[in-house]
């Protein structure tokens, strides 16, 4: 966090999966034209079998496309959504865990090669209990993250544990549980993030959660509470206090739009959401 510099507004990014059917250059252009500074990439939208198929030349081309549109890559999310299939980070199957850890190492390199600095670890289907206890799953989660932490640190990226409410996952449902996992790993490259949509299991208001955890929040996902894009609900009013807290506390990392309903289309999602973000900023002190 940088509390010393004058506030110039938040840095906004948009996740690309709502436009995954469009060419990557068109995705970047749409996001930039709507007023965002960054793009957050779901790797599965760009590959057929895994990020290993994108060689150094392909990565430079992706990065050039991002830069040519005046954007930066803020990082990756949906890390284990297939392809590739068969990944699971907290399974008792040691071979599958090893395969999943190896792929996370590949994702770290992919992110760094695109000059991103965060990997958001959500992927609910790949971090479930899978027939074991929650405690055992959390241990596998921490052990796996510990195995990639040094490499992430060398590549100057952070892997961020995402809290997912109980309707999505049965492992790490709250910010407190995310922090416990981060603390268990105890490495600066393993941190956490905040997602407005994923706070259903929390008992405190959004702004209080941000004030409590801001020291370990390195990324923010925003959308309406039901997962639609901003402007389809009450975010323009209900999120003001939370954004005020982020401003007051010197949050300077990315605020990234991630939606789960891709209607009406990517351009409308981008533009209407940016209008709400600008409206929220105008209400801040």
76 in Cβ contact with 120 (< 8 Å): yes
Q: H-helix or E-strand containing 41?
A: strand 38-41
- pTM listed for this prediction: 0.96
Rg (CA), the chain: 18
Domains and CATH numbers, the chain: 11-282 (3.20.20.150)
Q: pLDDT tens, position by position, for the chain (285 residues)?
A: 444 567 889 999 999 999 999 999 999 999 999 999 999 999 999 999 999 999 999 999 999 999 999 999 999 999 999 999 999 999 999 999 999 999 999 999 999 999 999 999 999 999 999 999 999 999 999 999 999 999 999 999 999 999 999 999 999 999 999 999 999 999 999 999 999 999 999 999 999 999 999 999 999 999 999 999 999 999 999 999 999 999 999 999 999 999 999 999 999 999 999 999 999 999 999
């Amino acid at each position: 966090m940088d509390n010393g510099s004058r506030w110039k507004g938040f840095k906004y990014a948009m996740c690309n999966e709502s436009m995954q059917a469009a060419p990557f250059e068109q995705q970047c252009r749409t996001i930039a034209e709507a007023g965002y500074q960054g793009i957050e990439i779901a790797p599965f939208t760009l590959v057929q079998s895994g990020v290993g198929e994108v060689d150094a030349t392909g990565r430079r081309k992706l990065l050039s496309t991002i830069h040519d549109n005046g954007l930066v890559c803020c990082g990756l999310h949906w890390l284990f959504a297939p392809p590739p299939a068969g990944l699971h980070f907290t399974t008792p199957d040691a071979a599958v865990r090893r395969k999943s850890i190896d792929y996370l190492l590949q994702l770290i390199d992919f992110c760094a090669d695109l000059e991103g600095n965060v990997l958001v670890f959500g992927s609910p289907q790949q971090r479930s209990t899978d027939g074991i206890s929650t405690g055992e799953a959390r241990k596998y989660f921490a052990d796996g993250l510990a195995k990639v932490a040094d490499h992430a640190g060398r590549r100057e990226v952070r892997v961020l544990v995402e809290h997912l409410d109980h309707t999505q996952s049965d492992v790490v449902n709250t910010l407190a549980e995310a922090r416990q996992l981060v603390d268990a790993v105890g490495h600066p490259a393993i941190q956490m993030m905040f997602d407005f949509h994923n706070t259903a299991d929390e008992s405190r208001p959004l702004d209080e959660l941000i004030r409590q955890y801001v020291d370990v929040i390195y990324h923010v996902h925003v959308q309406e509470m039901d997962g639609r894009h901003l402007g389809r609900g009450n975010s323009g009013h209900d999120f003001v206090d939370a954004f005020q807290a982020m401003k007051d506390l010197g949050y300077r990392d990315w605020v990234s739009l991630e939606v789960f309903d891709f209607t009406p289309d990517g351009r409308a999602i981008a533009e209407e959401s940016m209008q709400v973000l600008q409206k929220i900023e105008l209400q801040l002190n």
